[in-house]
């Protein structure tokens, strides 16, 4: 039996073992997907194998050897992949730390600028509040003085009224 592997133009691969009859396929073969006739391709492959121009598929023992090599390489490939991922994560972490430091520096600068703007405003506000307090005190003092003056004026006017009343009274005795 000779193992035969055919690649169809549709992209399908199919394989089988055959006992050639006069160096050719004993029966026709077709692609299992597109049903294209693969007998001519199989006959060409058989001719190459029988004329020694190509080797038949390796025996199953070689396939099992390849599988065992793959399974022994798998942990190493996983370790290499892990290392690559860890290195990428470390690089991203470094970039994030740099970005965080830049952001912290910007925030510090913004806080300094805000304080520089806020300090004069707070001083002006304190000065305004102090002036308002002084003006309220002056107003209160003025109100007291005005009340006293008004009382004095009222008293004077009452005295004048009394004087006028007294003068306007005529004594007819």
Give the pLDDT band (50/70/90) at residue 170: low
pLDDT in tens, 34-63: 999 999 999 998 888 888 755 555 555 556
pLDDT at 169: 65
The pTM for the full model equals 0.36
Judged by DSSP in three states, 10 sits in coil
Domain ranges of the chain: 2-57, 77-163
Highest mean pLDDT among 16-25, 45-54, 140-149 belongs to 16-25
Name the DSSP class of 52.
Answer: T
DSSP bridge pairs for 4: 16
Which residues does 6 contact at the CB level (< 8 Å), separation at least 6? 13, 14, 15, 29, 31, 38, 41, 42, 45
Mean pLDDT within 116-132: 86
Please, which residues have CB within 8 angstroms of residue 23's CB and are 6 or more apart in sequence? Answer: 46, 47, 50
6 touches 41 (CB < 8 A)? yes
Query: Angle CA(141)–CA(143)–CA(144) in degrees, nearest 5?
Result: 65
pLDDT at position 134 over 80: yes
């Amino acid at each position: 039996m000779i193992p035969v592997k055919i690649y169809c133009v549709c992209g399908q691969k199919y394989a089988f073992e055959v006992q050639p009859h006069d160096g050719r396929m004993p029966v026709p073969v077709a692609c299992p997907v597109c049903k294209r006739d693969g007998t001519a391709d199989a006959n060409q492959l058989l001719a190459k194998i029988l004329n020694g121009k190509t080797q038949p598929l390796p025996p199953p023992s070689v396939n099992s050897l390849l599988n065992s090599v793959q399974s022994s390489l798998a942990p190493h490939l996983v370790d290499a992949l892990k290392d690559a991922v860890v290195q990428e994560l470390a690089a991203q972490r470094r970039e994030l730390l740099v970005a965080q430091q830049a952001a912290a520096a910007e925030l510090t600068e913004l806080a300094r600028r805000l304080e520089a703007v806020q300090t004069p405003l707070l001083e002006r506000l304190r000065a305004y509040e102090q002036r308002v307090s002084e003006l309220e005190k002056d107003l209160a003092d003025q109100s007291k003085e005005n009340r006293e003056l008004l009382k004095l004026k009222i008293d004077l006017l009452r005295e004048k009224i009394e004087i006028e009343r007294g003068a306007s009274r005529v004594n007819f005795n």
